[in-house]
Structure 1
Amino acid sequence: MKEWWIQVGLLMVPLIAVYLHIPPPKLSPALYSWRTSGAFFIYRGQRIFYRDSWGAIGSSDVVILLHGFPTSSYDWYKIWDGLTQRFHRVVALDFLGFGFSDKPRLHRYSIFEQARIVEALLGHLGLQKQKVSLLSHDYGDTVAQELLHRFEYNRTGHIKINSLCLSNGGIFPETTHPRFLQKLLKDGGVLSPILTRLMNYYIFSKGIGAVFGPYTQPSDAELWEMWTGIRTNDGNLVVDSILQYINQRYKHRDRWVGALVSTSVPLHFIYGPLDPVNPHPDFLMLYRKLLPRSTVSVLDDHISHYPQLEDPMGFLNAYLNFINSF
């Protein structure tokens, strides 16, 4: 009996080894088109992917799109064409550690660095002196808050912000409820490298599906595209490092919430109210209390954490109504 278990164990070793080194899925035609329509620039030795589309003739307006965790700039694909009909230029990037950008290991990922990367991208595109609108979601909301702080206090390299629209992000850590796996990974210690290697499509799809509404679930193709973006460049192995942004939100709350409270920049929030990460009504009550000058668009009751994917037309209309209001 003992020899049988030893043989099974020896047989499992190469199978586990193969499992832990499964290559990333191939790009879908849509994801391949997204990548080939973009480009890369170098930030401190790291390749950062971005897309820069020229749109409306006769407009000088520029919008910068900041995506959420754990996905990528591809989150904006459903509203991309709609934005190009209103804006002269539509720009989005994959943050360091996300999507098609480089994903260095043993790297101290931070919101501050991601903000500097956005500034560097605008410099690369010759937009550093141009007033831009920021449209952000989730993780991108926090990057936007840091960019706003740098703009308000005239920090070196800051971008000029014409307006800011946030959506379904944990801008108040006290009303934010990270998912169980997020909490486990950010505090996992020695377990984190094991957990990130054990992460697979099934675990990912269950986790991401839980933050979509019951009637707006992503299709299998959409889930695979999200998972492909994570697996590209072994991004699953740096998820625990990126998740330190949750701790950074607590540490720098006064700085980032303070930037929203004190700003004179036109401010808007698009909210999917079924969001389990920023649940209604606690989040919205605090938002309206602390930011009474901000306008808010609350989407249909069944829209959850990814409003730009779950209700792209509602999201786009809400955003354009805000932009056209000033």
Structure 2
Amino acid sequence: MDKHKSGTRDRVASGCEVIALEEWQQGGKWFTYEGHAIFSRMAGQGEPLLLIHGFPTASWDWNRLWPMLLQNNHLLALDMLGFGFSDKPRKHAYSIEDQSDLMQGLLEGLGLKSIHLLAHDYGCSVAQELLAREQEGVLPFEIASVCFLNGALFPEVHNPLMIQKLLRSPLGGLLGRGLTRRSFERSFLKLFGSKNRPSPQDTDDFWHLLTYNNGRGILHQLIHFMEERRCHRHRWVSALQNAKQPMRLISGAADPVSGAATARRYQELIPEPDVVQLMNVGHYPHFESSWEVFAAYREFRKRKAGH
């Protein structure tokens, strides 16, 4: 597979180590899921922690948080089918259920008995589905804890961007295939707060991941997850309300899509809600303010472990 020609040397942003995209790719491995190649990264020692990325990006979203989490966790991350460096088949019924099957198969294949989940955006819906399955007794492993970052946990307060609405329309296929670097950047940057916006190089990397393997051609298929959230709302919200394991929501409050309104709804509906709100941080808190996210996540894990 071709490699993106950004530098391989780690960069530094806001005092945090940054792993360049080409290095991220070179440090990964591929495995096969239903005949499709899936990109993954695994490293570190400690309790297993699965990082689940969002739409329309990929596991590289975690690159700034990765070196911090690596200190005390066995990290697992992958590009879900249709995302990043993984295969993007045109004729595939993309769904949260299918992505959850992918995650479940990976964890079963590794023989893990317990897993912590850290999920963002689209990945939050995958985590909710896995929680529902655990409560139904169909998972061969237990979920030890769950931490959410800016996901549409409650579809009634989700506020999608105009481009997301258009991708769901009958013209979605044409819009996706015709998406330009400039129009992507114009919409994508609306998601970020004022604290640490992506540099031009960062935006180039996000664009590369989106367009890799003709990714624009399937955006209108992936976007169906918004409808899935409405269809499965009862199942996925009930999974949060019935969860027995520790949970925390770390929310970038400046996110226009699933920020402050989602945090308020979480506090209304979830028993004993644990919410950390980050001011001036948008939809990608782990990218925009990785140190704050790491500190909040570390405190969550330590406190819940009784340390």
**What is the TM-score normalised by the length of structure 1?**
0.86
> Deviations for 1:229-257, whole angstroms, at most 9, x for unmatched residues?
11111111101000000000000000000
- For 2:96 and 2:282, locate their aligned partners in 1 and report how far apart those are by CA, in whole Å: 24
Match of 1:323 among 286, 301, 304: 301
CA contact (8 A) 1:147 1:158 kept: no
Report runs of 4+ in structure 1 exceeding 4 Å deviation: none
Match of 1:178 among 160, 165, 183: 160
Match of 1:85 among 58, 71, 79: 71
1:106 Cα deviation from its structure 2 partner? 2.4
- For 1:256 and 1:321, locate their aligned partners in 2 and report how far apart those are by CA, in whole Å: 26
Correspondence 1:132 to 2:122: no
Aligned position for 2:59: 73
- For 2:6 and 2:111, locate their aligned partners in 1 and report how far apart those are by CA, in whole Å: 32
Match of 1:62 among 48, 71, 78: 48
Correspondence 1:162 to 2:144: yes
Aligned position for 1:7: none
Mapping of residues 129-278 of structure 1, within 5 Å: 130-155=113-138, 157-187=139-169, 189=170, 191-278=171-258
1:54 Cα deviation from its structure 2 partner? 2.0
> Deviations for 1:178-205, whole angstroms, at most 9, x for unmatched residues?
1101111112x2x222211210111111
Aligned position for 1:41: 31
Aligned position for 2:17: none
- For 1:215 and 1:53, locate their aligned partners in 2 and report how far apart those are by CA, in whole Å: 29
CA separation of 1:173/1:225 partners in 2, compared to 1, >3 Å: closer, same or farther?
same
- For 1:168 and 1:242, locate their aligned partners in 2 and report how far apart those are by CA, in whole Å: 18
SS in 1 for 2:212: helix
**Match for 1:146: what amino acid?**
E
Structure (1/2) with the larger helix percentage: 1
CA contact (8 A) 1:145 1:259 kept: yes
Q: Which runs of 5+ in 1 are unaligned?
A: 1-23
**Match for 2:32: what amino acid?**
I
Percent identity, please: 37
Aligned length: 291
- For 2:275 and 2:232, locate their aligned partners in 1 and report how far apart those are by CA, in whole Å: 24
1:126 Cα deviation from its structure 2 partner? 2.9
Aligned position for 1:298: 277
CA contact (8 A) 2:150 2:259 kept: no
- For 1:322 and 1:309, locate their aligned partners in 2 and report how far apart those are by CA, in whole Å: 19
1:158 Cα deviation from its structure 2 partner? 4.7
CA contact (8 A) 1:168 1:271 kept: yes
CA RMSD of aligned residues (A): 1.4
1:294 Cα deviation from its structure 2 partner? 3.0
- For 1:159 and 1:211, locate their aligned partners in 2 and report how far apart those are by CA, in whole Å: 35
1:216 Cα deviation from its structure 2 partner? 1.9
- For 1:110 and 1:27, locate their aligned partners in 2 and report how far apart those are by CA, in whole Å: 32
CA separation of 1:36/1:26 partners in 2, compared to 1, >3 Å: closer, same or farther?
closer
CA contact (8 A) 2:29 2:40 kept: yes
CA separation of 1:231/1:198 partners in 2, compared to 1, >3 Å: closer, same or farther?
same
1:284 Cα deviation from its structure 2 partner? 2.1
- For 1:82 and 1:264, locate their aligned partners in 2 and report how far apart those are by CA, in whole Å: 27
SS in 2 for 1:99: coil
**Match for 1:50: what amino acid?**
S
Structure ID, larger Rg: 1
**Match for 2:66: what amino acid?**
W
SS in 2 for 1:233: coil
CA contact (8 A) 2:57 2:83 kept: yes
- For 1:285 and 1:210, locate their aligned partners in 2 and report how far apart those are by CA, in whole Å: 21
CA separation of 1:176/1:102 partners in 2, compared to 1, >3 Å: closer, same or farther?
same
**Match for 1:154: what amino acid?**
G
- For 1:303 and 1:287, locate their aligned partners in 2 and report how far apart those are by CA, in whole Å: 18
CA contact (8 A) 2:95 2:225 kept: yes
